[in-house]
Amino acid sequence: MKAIYLTGFMGAGKTTIGKRLSEALQVPVIDTDLYIEEKIGKKIADIFTEDGEQVFRKYEREYLRLLPNRDVVITTGGGIVIQEENRRWMMNNGHVIFLYCDIETIFDRVKTDPTRPLFDAVHKENTRRLYNQRMSFYNEAHFILDTTSKSFDDIVNSILLWLRSEQGGNNNY
């Protein structure tokens, strides 16, 4: 099976769905944010404050290429799609699945959280702007799934059905 890249805005459910999907498919899951934190030995929030967003984006771009591209679920950072070369890499190397979620639902899901430096739950207009700016990038996916009012089980089942159709109807993904 080609790698599955789960994309979407902060709070869209990438980590939660990625874990369940990896269990269903019996392949490992790798989270790009956690991978960077382990390799650099710093929390994302500290990379942003100490080194700046551009340095984080460089790590994101470089490490994406080092990850396996078969038999794996990769849950990506919410901003991975802003770099064109990342979008191209993922589209060429795996199944890109965009977990869409309405922004107001995202505000309900994600409260103020210091681990997400770009998520501003106080000045919501900043977060809405970021969300709108990125939408066309997220939409460049192989499969777009609206998760807004769906349960975790429904989301995972929809992805499995789509994967099966991509593989010509067999279950070997």
Ligand X SMILES: Nc1ncnc2c1ncn2[C@@H]1O[C@H](COP(=O)(O)OP(=O)(O)OP(=O)(O)O)[C@@H](O)[C@H]1O
Ligand Y SMILES: O=C(O)C1=C[C@@H](O)[C@@H](O)[C@H](O)C1
> In the complex, which residues of this chain contact ligand X (CB under 6 A)?
8, 10-16, 78, 109-110, 116, 147, 150, 152, 155
Among 2, 83, 105, 117, binds ligand Y (CB under 6 A): 117
Which is nearest to 74 in space by CA: 158, 137, 156, 3? 3
When CB distances are held under 5 to 8 angstroms depending on the partner's kind, the choice from ligand X, ligand Y, Mg ion, none that residue 3 binds is none
If you ran DSSP here, which 8-state letter would residue 76 be given? Answer: P
Binding segment toward ligand Y, per CB under 6 A, in 91-99, 106-114, 116-124, 141-149: 116-124
C-alpha to C-alpha distances, 114 to 43, 45, 118, 146, nearest whole angstrom = 11, 7, 9, 27
In degrees and rounded to multiples of 5, residue 161 shows phi and psi of -65, -45
Segment 53 to 112, residues that bind ligand Y, using CB under 6 A: 77-79
When CB distances are held under 5 to 8 angstroms depending on the partner's kind, the choice from ligand Y, ligand X, Mg ion, none that residue 147 binds is ligand X
